[in-house]
A = this chain, B = another copy of it.
């Protein structure tokens, strides 16, 4: 049974990740709170065994992966009354891919350690495309031995995989990552709106600025979408808002003002308030704040 793993949370991200584990030959017991979801189908088609209960997923699993959402979801799935900790064998390694902040990760790790279970926080970036293609960036916090044990699995799901420090460190790096994503977008929105006011072709901005000191992944991949109003989600506004809330909490604890983050959060909230659709539009819909 050493190759059997559990995957809890088969949203689009989790579905693709579980699918990539199954394709590498692992026996993956997949569970999702809501059975009828796109991610569940993606996982099932790749050979993930979809099971009806969390208990059935965790039983016999050497490693338990989870990818669920916000702090309360992770706590419920790992530590709740019917959570993974209740059904996992002693010494089992639990790896959580959700973005929940360092403090929550440390608290969860301690609660699991008290039950003789190991934990890695392993938030990811790279979006649904990265999850599908197995090219995610995986930012890991925890013990070296646990990281080494999880590495073969990570390699089925990601490309840039890095142990960043003790438990919580993956989350800490992810917070910095989200700050960069949010501020890069502020720059793109303001550059694109000024390009428009000056009568410039936005493609010129992407091509000319993208090759030099102003270049970024975001400009190359989201620049034209910002300019043309293509707000199809890669990463949704509701998710960056959750992440920036976590960033704000950490900054408040550290008594560090982050005026750029505050601005980005304000812009996303203004977009969120525009209509029902906004929360599930891509982060590039920040541009709507400049058009309203």
Contacts and interface: CB of A to CB of B under 8 A. Distances in A.
Interface of A: 102, 125-127, 130, 137, 139, 159-160, 162, 164-165, 169, 172-173, 175-184, 186-195, 197-201, 204-205, 207-209, 211-219, 221, 235, 247, 250-251, 254, 256-261, 263, 267, 290
A137 B212 contact: yes
A208 B260 contact: no
Contacts of A164: 200-201, 204, 208
A137 B173 contact: no
Interface centre among A127, A193, A199, A209 (most CB of B within 10 A): A209
Main SS of the interface on chain A? helix
B179 A187 contact: yes
A194 B263 contact: no
A183 to B, nearest CB: 3
A34 to B, nearest CB: 27
A246 to B, nearest CB: 11
A276 to B, nearest CB: 25
Contacts of A176: 191-192, 194-195, 198, 200, 205, 209, 214
A187 B257 CA distance: 13
21 contacts: A125-B214, A126-B212, A137-B209, A137-B211, A139-B208, A162-B208, A164-B200, A164-B208, A165-B199, A165-B204, A172-B199, A176-B194, A177-B212, A180-B209, A183-B187, A183-B260, A190-B258, A194-B247, A194-B256, A197-B251, A197-B256
A141 to B, nearest CB: 10
